[in-house]
Amino acid sequence: MKEETLVESLSLVLLYLTSWVENEGSELESRRSWRGYDRSALDSPEEAELISFNRHSKSAYLTDKGRESFYRVLKETHQKRGTWVESRRSVLAKVVDRFSPEGAIRILLEEDEMQAALSVLRKVPNLVYRYGEVFGPRCSNEICAAFVEDIRNSTRFASHNGKYHELCEKLIVMEKVCGVGAVLPVIEELQQTYRQRRNMQKDLRNLESYMKYKQE
């Protein structure tokens, strides 16, 4: 079923489910429905943080949690109809297109679509700190490359002690995922590139000593 047809069909179902009878029992009996959603029907999704809206607004935001919930309902519907196998690719393509990068990565990892999840991660490399370990050893080279790319980019704009500490925290996370052997060359590269940033050099030296101690 085409998406437009599905929307029309589901809209008709919603209109019926929220309708009421007027002039019941008479020749003028009819069933009517509001053209908008029943606002009370949106209370539960809002409480579950699936949607977010201003009471004075006519529109609502679908949260990441709400979009993921929709995805699972759609998947379950396809599975019950026996159409999931042929629909899976097109549905996941829409996930990548319409979800936030983080939401898309969660769904793609859930579906064991590692390469597709990596493609999203490359566009937003700072998400590697949250999901790096989830990818596992199958994607170790790509994950370590994402760490290095984000660390290089963030170091360019690191200009005070707070940012230097954040940089070291990122390197520590990278070490947990990629190992000391992958982190030490990055630290050495940063020491060579940013020699004029004395406070950064101090933090990097301390971190380097700690990493070498762990390596022994």
For 8-42, write each residue's pLDDT tens digit: 777 777 777 778 888 887 878 888 887 776 677 77
pLDDT tens digits along 53-87: 787 777 788 888 988 988 998 899 889 989 999 99
Residue 200 clears pLDDT 90, i.e. is over it:
yes
Of the chain, the percentage scoring pLDDT greater than 90 comes to 50
Q: Is the pLDDT of residue 49 over 80?
A: yes
Domain count for the chain, please give it. 1
Provide the domain limits for residue 159: 125-216
The pLDDT, as a whole number, for residue 2 is 65
Is 181 inside any structural domain?
yes
Residue-wise pLDDT for 160-191, tens only, equals 889 999 999 999 999 999 999 999 999 999 99
**Where does the pLDDT of residue 1 fall: very low under 50, low under 70, confident under 90, or very high at 90 and above?**
low
Residue 173 belongs to a domain: yes
Does the residue 17 lie in any domain? no
> Which residues are CB-contacts of 108 (< 8 A; sequence separation ≥ 6)?
92, 95, 96, 114, 116, 117, 120
pTM of the model: 0.75
| 199 within a domain of the structure (yes/no) | yes
**Within a domain: 22:** no
User: What is the DSSP pairing of strand 30-32 with strand 20-22?
Assistant: antiparallel
Query: Which pLDDT does position 27 carry in this prediction?
Result: 79
Using CA atoms, how far residue 211 sits from 36, 128, 168, 207, in Å, is 60, 20, 11, 6
Tell me the pLDDT tens digit for each residue of 100-156.
999 999 999 999 999 999 999 988 989 999 999 888 777 889 999 999 999 999 999
The band of 89, judged by pLDDT with boundaries at 50, 70 and 90, is: very high
Burial (CB count <10 Å: 0-12, 13-18, 19+), residue 147:
buried
Domain assignment present for residue 162? The answer is: yes
Flag whether 80 is in a domain. no
Kindly state whether residue 175 falls inside one of the protein's structural domains.
yes
